[in-house]
Amino acid sequence: MFQTLYSYFWWERLWLPANLTWADLEDRDGRVYAKASDLYITLPLAFLFLVVRHLFETYVATPLAGLLNVKEKVRLKATPNAVLEKFYAATTKHPKQADVEMLSKKSGCTVRQVERWFRRRRNQDRPSLLKKFREASWRFTFYLIAFIAGMAVIVDKPWFYDLREVWKGYPIQSMLPSQYWYYMIELSFYWSLLFSIASDVKRKDFKEQIIHHVATIILISFSWFANYIRAGTLIMALHDSSDYLLESAKMFNYAGWRNTCNNIFIVFAAVFIITRLVILPFWIMHCTVFYPLDLYPAFFGYYFFNFMMVVLQSLHIFWAYLIIRMAQKFITGKVVEDERSDREETDNSEEEEEVAKNGPLSNGHPVLNNNHRKTD
């Protein structure tokens, strides 16, 4: 049974053009070709990435946050209440008005106190500013290094300047050591992102992030199996070209450096739109859709690869919409915020009255004012 499924999965007509077999891609005469078994190493490398990430966030990102004066807003804690906590954990974090009134009777609190309790309890579950900064620092570091490495891998290749060279001699194209390591590192990193997504800061586009990571892993893996390596290296470098800009903008935003954040964000928006909405569909996808047909008839792998490219491009359009919304806020003078982030809720006027009487308090202790902004 397993052998039958294995044979069907690796059927040559799924992965290779007509009249070609896996035997044509066996190493010979000093020429090395991509093999599916090469990708086994990406799983242990992904866990190694998680270890390196933990060390980086602890010993690099945390001290860097201190240097940039990343300060956490003091959050008022919800008073322990078994009735409200049970409803919060088992039913919903956002009770309707009828639920609030019912909980008010059960808990012996006023309606205003129940509403305040849920606001504070939700805020307790939101990720800290330091956690967001550490994650952004890690991704910034990887994307920047990956972009530099990717450019070093492809900038001296003829297919970087002439996209028809991507398919010259396909699929009998030998693999270079630089291409091997570029693929292994990129794929391992995206596996690590998928493994850690449940514990990372959860944003409003959580489902889209999962789809993106899965689509990216499938694309990278499939391009390796089918020897689409030249196209794959171009696509990976193109994606890394803007990602490190976004992460650096987030870092400065969390540090309160608004002017720097806004300026970097505008550069990021321009690079993102040019690379993801212009170069990718009109150059790279044109290359993967039309040029191969001049060399061989379309086969399953051709359709599958380009279908996954369409999925990825659809996500780019979705994110471009969010980016343009943020850019509009910047142009109109509003502070640029991540549209995907879950904003922290503030308490109502009852707490403001407490502050007016007693000064800023959090659980009986004075609160430092963390709302100042740095200027460049």
Mean pLDDT, 10 residues at a time, the chain of 376 residues:
75 81 83 90 96 96 92 78 85 86 86 87 82 94 96 94 92 90 96 90 79 90 91 94 94 90 91 95 95 89 91 91 83 56 50 41 38 39
Note the pLDDT of residue 186. 96
Residue 198 lies in a domain: yes
Note the pLDDT of residue 123. 82
**Residues 87 and 139 grouped into a single domain:** no
The two tokens of residue 91 are 């039913």
**Residues 91 and 178 grouped into a single domain:** no
CA distance 183 to 130: 31
pTM score of the predicted model = 0.79
Note down the domain range covering 161. 127-330
Note the pLDDT of residue 50. 97
Note the pLDDT of residue 334. 58
Alpha helices, DSSP H only, in the chain?
2-9, 12-15, 42-56, 62-67, 82-90, 97-107, 111-125, 129-154, 177-196, 206-225, 229-254, 258-274, 285-289, 300-331, 349-358
Note the pLDDT of residue 182. 96
AA letter at 221: S
Residue 33 lies in a domain: no
**Residues 156 and 267 grouped into a single domain:** yes
Residues 234 and 158 sit within 8 Å (Cβ to Cβ): no
Which of these three, 88, 123, 158, is where a domain ends? 123
**Residues 227 and 154 grouped into a single domain:** yes
List b or e across 290-309, with b for residues whose CB sees 16 or more CB atoms inside 10 angstroms.
ebbeeebeebebbebbeebb
**Residues 97 and 244 grouped into a single domain:** no
Specify the DSSP element, H or E, that contains 362.
strand 361-362
Nearest to 177 by CA among 22, 31, 37: 31
Note the pLDDT of residue 335. 52
Note the pLDDT of residue 365. 38
**Could you give the 3-state DSSP secondary structure of residue 252?**
helix
CA dist 144 → 114, 149, 153, 353 (Å): 46, 9, 14, 48
**Residues 203 and 268 grouped into a single domain:** yes
Note the pLDDT of residue 46. 97
DSSP designation for 165: G
Note the pLDDT of residue 287. 95
